[in-house]
Amino acid sequence: MIASSLIKQFDVPGPRYTSYPTADRFYPDKEGLALQKGIEYRSHHPKALSLYIHIPFCDSVCYYCGCNKVVTKNHGMAVDYLQTLVKEIDAVVSLLDHGNVNDLKVAQLHLGVGSPTFLSDEQLAELISHLNYRFDWLESCEKSIEIDPRTMNKERFIHLKQLGFNRLSLGIQDFDPDVQLAIHRVQPYQSVVSMMRIARELSFDSINMDLIYGLPKQTKDSFFRTLTEVAALRPERIALYGYAHLPERFKPQRRIAIEDLPDAEQKCAMLENAVDYFMAQGYEYIGMDHFALPHDELARVKKVGQLHRNFQGYHTLKDCDLVGFGVSAISDIGNCYSQNLKNLTEYSAQAAAGKLPIEKGLVLTDEDILRREVIMSIMCQGKINIIEIEKRFLIDFKEHFSQALIRLKPFEREGLVTISPESIEVSEEGWFLIRPMAMAFDQYIWQDTDHRRFSKVL
């Protein structure tokens, strides 16, 4: 584990680089021109698809939440939303379908945030049935869904299995009762133990648990208890995020009393404990916030240098075009990004009218593509192969990235990275500061000195 003094020294707010350029660089694109350009590129460079479906509803609000969600008890809202989704899916499929056998082949499906299990079993079945009707599925397709354990019972797990889901992600955050009260998300440990037992009986391929450190009322000791309880359940993957308190941006966070938050010293100890403990329990450190058991696909792809990063974090499939459906969803197709409208009413009106419900987009320049390759190499492999980059992009790396190399110097001096004429390699300790190192290669972030919209490691 890295010394806490180094984390404090280099811990500046920065992007998580789920894309490059980052989403705050997208420009207005109501016509969806970037998406159309990406799809046109794809027609000559076909890849399997990764589908992301954004289900924005939650029954109640968690105070730490920074997601784009709608908190409501009115489950009728989901009926209208599903109808809108179907329209959007049909509109995008008609663009993707060029009559080639691989146009609509899907390698990965993910239903995500707020709570996809807000949908009833019938609604989920309806959505999956429409996707089955519109897309072709690779036999090895990974189908995952985010689960709010508070909405689940045995019958629901069986239903998810019958719908073809083979991966689950459970929002846990912390098992301590005081913390759960302070974040307005009460889900007792024993109920999650029962859920896990059912999920194991049904043989889901991989189960992920999300945890957060830095929450109100958390202490080093209380969080350590959560770590031991989580590790005892042996989820294949663990995502461990640092809580970023940004109440001016995220309204629910205003209900968190600032005096209840652990300070940077305590957060550092929690992170340190978590890394040491999970590794002692047989987990491998994947990068930034992720751990996986050695037999899990995420650990395997990391070993063979095939780890990938997209809007959902670290991923196993490198060579896919990502198509996002639903309010605020982002697509990444053929060197073009596009993002749907973030406002539910506007998104619904546009999609219901049969139009692409897009708000923003970005067509990558050649320079963006080069820098994306470099940033994703460092984020996913902890390594940049300078010779390969020079050959592929016909550049003199040292000259092209002279500023970035200067920015990396302080990290090099502390042994967090090694720079040679052939490669740049992040040390084991350096992995904990991968974000500020990746920032060195970001062309845009240095044009603007106010990085407060981003979070920090601690």
Q: Which residues contribute to the site for ligand SF4 (CB under 6 A)?
A: 58, 61-62, 65, 67, 69, 113-115, 148, 171
CB of 96 vs ligand SF4, minimal distance in Å: 28
Per DSSP bridges, beta strands 320-325 and 48-54 are parallel
> Closest approach of Cβ 70 to ligand SF4, in Å?
9
> Closest CB to ligand SF4 among 250 and 277?
250
Q: Under a CB-based contact definition with an 8 Å cutoff, are residues 151 and 190 in contact?
A: no
CB of 100 to ligand SF4, least distance (A): 37
C-beta of 71 vs 82, nearer to ligand SF4: 71
Q: How far is the CB of 255 from ligand SF4 (least distance, A)?
A: 12
Q: State which residue, 42 or 237, has the beta carbon closest to ligand SF4.
A: 237
Closer to ligand SF4 by CB, 58 or 111: give it.
58
CA neighbours closer than 13 Å in the CB half-sphere of residue 237: 26
**String of DSSP letters for 299-361:** HHHHHTT--EEETTEEES--SEEEEEESTT-EEEETTEEEEE-SSHHHHHHHHHTTS--EEEE
Q: How far is the CB of 146 from ligand SF4 (least distance, A)?
A: 8
Q: Which is nearer to ligand SF4, 48 or 65 (CB)?
A: 65
In the complex, the smallest distance separating the C-beta of residue 422 from ligand SF4, rounded to whole angstroms, is 44
Pairing of strands 358-363, 336-340: antiparallel
Choose between 14 and 114: whose C-beta lies nearer to ligand SF4.
114
Residue nearer to ligand SF4 on the CB measure, 56 or 334: 56
Nearer to ligand SF4 among residue 39 and residue 239 (C-beta): 239
Q: What is the C-alpha to C-alpha distance for residues 176 and 29, in angstroms, rounded to an integer?
A: 45
- Measure the CA–CA gap between 314 and 212, rounded to whole angstroms: 17
Measured in Å, how far apart are the chain's first and last C-alpha atoms?
14
Comparing CB distances to ligand SF4, the nearer of 30 and 245 is 245
For the chain, how many residues are written?
Answer: 458
In this structure, the strands spanning 320-325 and 417-419 are unpaired
CB count in 10 Å sphere of residue 23:
15
Q: Least distance (Å) from ligand SF4 to the CB of residue 210?
A: 9
Could you tell me the smallest distance in angstroms from the CB atom of residue 344 to ligand SF4? Answer: 14
Cα gap 361→19, rounded to integer Å: 13
Neighbours of 415 (CB within 10 A): 11
Which of helix, strand or coil describes residue 32?
coil
Q: How far is the CB of 118 from ligand SF4 (least distance, A)?
A: 9
Distance CA 12, CA 224 (A): 26
Contact 41, 55 (CB under 8 A): no
Judged by beta carbon, residue 59 or residue 90, the one nearer ligand SF4 is 59
Angle, alpha carbons 419-421-423 (nearest 5°) = 55
Shortest Cβ 64–ligand SF4 spacing (Å): 7
Euclidean distance between CA atoms 70 and 64, whole angstroms? 15
